[in-house]
Structure 1
Amino acid sequence: MGETMELTFPVIDLSKINGDERGATMDMINDACENWGFFELMNHGISHELMDTVEKHTKEHYTKCMEQRFKEMVARQGLDQVAESEINDMDWESTFFLRHLPETNINEIPDLEDGYRKVMKQFAVELEKLAEKFLDLLCENLGLEQGYLKKVFYGSRGPNFGTKVSNYPPCPKPDLIKGLRAHTDAGGIILLFQDAKVSGLQLLKDDNWIDVPPMKHSIVINLGDQLEVITNGKYKSVMHRVIAQTDGSRMSIASFYNPGDDAVIYPAPALVEKEAEKSNVYPKFVFEDYMKLYAGLKFEAKEPRFEAMKAMESNVNLGAAATI
């Protein structure tokens, strides 16, 4: 396949899943999961009007409540004085987190206007539906029984679902400080509503950093470490980062549909190779334990995390949940 074809970022029209082009669309999804770990969805079923309202409120909230705080943090840390040396222990971003499931914290976040709270609740409901629909499409592509991934993610209290709302303000030295340092996502499936004008998100493919193009009203999907484990490496989580820009502030609303804290994660038996040496690559663990480990190692390679979980495996009482 020619190089230009290879580096065309996958954009998938989800509305075609319901018609004659279903097979071809499912193949595109599978190819994107296997070879990219990232893809962009158009016609995903979330209304443009809702997305526009979310964007308007998010940008207004940043200007009104977050921008000044960010400038004060920059001055306090001396980041505006960055001269020659690269900064590797901080990110040039202004963020807050919303939790939706198992319980929401949206009413506890200070400074959010009622209209913003309302629209974010609505947006979360739509994203949750899209995430669950997508997990079923992945099951179909992987030859797993319908509902398998949702069931594995469920644990005893249902999945964890939350949103990181970020703004990446203009940065004087983007070569010396990243908007967000390179990492893979720890969780399950990530749904991103990103700025349609200001770029910055990049993924690592074949040792090259490739831009995830801004596209109006798209949802970017990427896969986290848990799906790599469950698919026994057929689908992989991918390193990505955000490059800050010298002009323009980039909005990023990333929603993480993750397993429940006590969900037991392990390669789906249907996807484990018959040869014993291959079947043992990925560990079996409780999701909460993985997250505790990830907290300190987010910006490092994922393989040592998998190794560490493997080493802990014999000590873990996986309980009844392991019979899912």
Structure 2
Amino acid sequence: MKKHISELLNHPRTGHSHFEFVDINVLDDQELFIDPCLIEIQQGPWYSNATKLLDDFFNKFYEAYRNNDTPKKLELLSCAREINFTKLGYGKGDNGHGNTAEGLLVTFKNLENLTVSVPSIAKAMDLPVTIPGFNEDGLSDMITNILHLQMNTFTLEQLAIRNVQPNSEDTFDTWNLVSSSWEKVTAPCYRYENNKILLTPKNIVRKKYHFGANQFLMRVILERAKKETAYINPKGKIRYRTTKKELRFAIPKEDRNWKYKYINEESERDQSFLTDYHDAIPYLYSNKAMTDAELDKFIY
């Protein structure tokens, strides 16, 4: 059974070209995830402010890990757990230990050393690259909490466009840019069958991130290693003595987390790898937001 938010707003289900938000099925979860890179490359006040909030939170987050400040880590992670108001992600508690601050402490335990040995770790996108087992679902939940008030305001604005009034009130935690801390706020909201709904701008979701450990390994580390084997053949053309596939095959694979181990060792050896990756993101994500047609096919 499906019931899309457009139905609740008394709008004919004519597709995402008519909406600024993801037309979620409010009765189930959709395996879409908020992508911080898509937020960063979009133009407009909403995306600019969201980027500032994310940058501010993750500055404090990585600072706490560099200082090994456990009380601060727990404070930051206490409001970064699983959240289901957007009806995005896997939902149903599938994050395991990720839905508690203590569980996230375990997930991020390697950051205590990494943030010291690799100072270029600085952005939200760096977590799925360097931390085993932390992927789209966990990061999307963190982002939703950080942007909770901004997303709630966006939801109310979209309701107002369709002459629908908020029907409830909620008290929740959200990231405050002025105080650089969590703030508890009370604001009007929209509920369906007593479940709060947060609408998500359609331009910031994906089925799978374009960045991650494998992307970082292949596009940055092994790409550079391949280029170091370049030579000019007798016809004056650039050729390479090895391929990225061959380089990848040669990496020791002693356990299932070999990829993260190798990435982190290489990033520690050469601090420019992550910096280069940050610089490459706008190119990697150019025109990579889901189209209206792709969203229609996935949602409907």
Q: TM-score, normalised on structure 1?
A: 0.25
More RCO (CA 8 Å, sep 6+):
2
* Higher strand proportion (structure 1 or 2): 1
* Higher helix proportion (structure 1 or 2): 2
